[in-house]
Amino acid sequence: MPELPEVEISRRGIEPHILGREVTGVVVRQPRLRWPIPPDLGRQVSGRRVEAVERRAKYLLLRLQQGTLIIHLGMSGSLRILPSGTPPGRHDHVDLLFGDHCLRLRDPRRFGAVLWTREAVEEHPLIRHLGPEPLAPEFSGDGIYQLARARRVPVKNLIMDGRVMVGVGNIYANEALFAAGIHPHRPCNRISLARYRDLSEQIRRILSEAIRQGGTTLRDFRQEDGRPGYFARRLTVYGRAGEPCPGCGGTIRQRHIGQRSSYFCPHCQR
């Protein structure tokens, strides 16, 4: 499931293959993703050159001449660079053609999205309200602490809220809270500034490490060359219910918070 590191890895993987290249066509085999793919996408983007390949939160932004393609990988999306004409698999829904090769989106669960906007992408409804990037140099716990004071949701919900900060999905939220010794259920307004600063640092550290490891492959994620990521072996608590906590030897618990699974050590995390 692509979270921020997986999207950044995809960005770095595809950039050298498409930056500066002209889109020669688009093939849409299945337009029904999270939102329908615009029917005239091919006409809109063909002939335009890729001027930048960026990432904002978990959105990939392909800046073309006079517009931006917004790609979201949803739950199960992945991007591959392939020779043009490579036979598509069952869930290969979209190809962006670049002459001899193509950028192919595979997304079995179809929660992803491919959208086109000619407006300033920073003002797009999906982008406009996004919180700060954890990997930006100026990111610290201070802003989060201020926001948290006015709310009382569990801290895990807070850090997964894209308006508060972006890119922290379920896996990394669990890991960061363990690393910071904070209980995922703790009301977010009952955590000190010092602990938010530490938590922010842990989020940065874990996301950076995951990027270095090629991301976390749990089910479908593949790097652009088809290799899986290797961060899964570094996960300390996620998916380890019943196993011993590496900190105290106690048992890692799993509980549901919202609709998602939390994994934590009730002894080390308070």
Is 2 tagged catalytic?
yes
Q: Judged by CB, which is closer to DNA: 78, or 170?
A: 170
Q: Judged by CB, which is closer to DNA: 90, or 249?
A: 90
| Catalytic hit among 12, 34, 260, 266 | 260
Tokens encoding 237: 């608590």
CB of 165 to DNA, least distance (A): 11
Is 253 tagged catalytic?
no
Query: At a CB cut-off of 8 Å and minimum separation 6, what does 164 contact?
Result: 131, 144, 147, 158
Strand 59-64 versus strand 50-56 pairing type: antiparallel
Instruction: Please compute, for residue 130, the number of CA atoms within 13 A of its CA located in the half-sphere on the CB side.
Output: 19
Is 209 tagged catalytic?
no
Please state at what angle helix 193-212 crosses helix 4-18, rounded to 10 degrees: 40
Q: Judged by CB, which is closer to DNA: 101, or 167?
A: 167
Tokens encoding 1: 């499931």
Tokens encoding 77: 């999306």
239 torsion bin: left (phi>0), alpha (psi -120 to 50), beta (else): left
CB of 24 to DNA, least distance (A): 28
Is 80 tagged catalytic?
no
Give the span between the Cα atoms of 260 and 51, in whole angstroms: 38
Binding site for DNA (CB under 7 A): 1, 3, 32, 34, 57-58, 72, 74-76, 90-91, 108-111, 126, 150-154, 157, 162, 169-171, 219, 256, 258-261
| Catalytic hit among 11, 55, 56, 58 | 58
Q: Judged by CB, which is closer to DNA: 98, or 221?
A: 221
Give the span between the Cα atoms of 96 and 76, in whole angstroms: 18
With contact defined as beta carbons under 8 Å apart, do 262 and 255 qualify? yes
CB of 101 to DNA, least distance (A): 26
Tokens encoding 118: 């000619």
The DSSP output letter for 153 is S
CB of 2 to DNA, least distance (A): 7
Tokens encoding 61: 């932004």
CB of 57 to DNA, least distance (A): 6
Q: Is 166 exposed, middle or buried (0-12, 13-18, 19+ CB in 10 A)?
A: buried
Give the span between the Cα atoms of 18 and 96, in whole angstroms: 10
CB of 11 to DNA, least distance (A): 14
Q: Catalogue the active-site residues.
A: 2-3, 58, 260
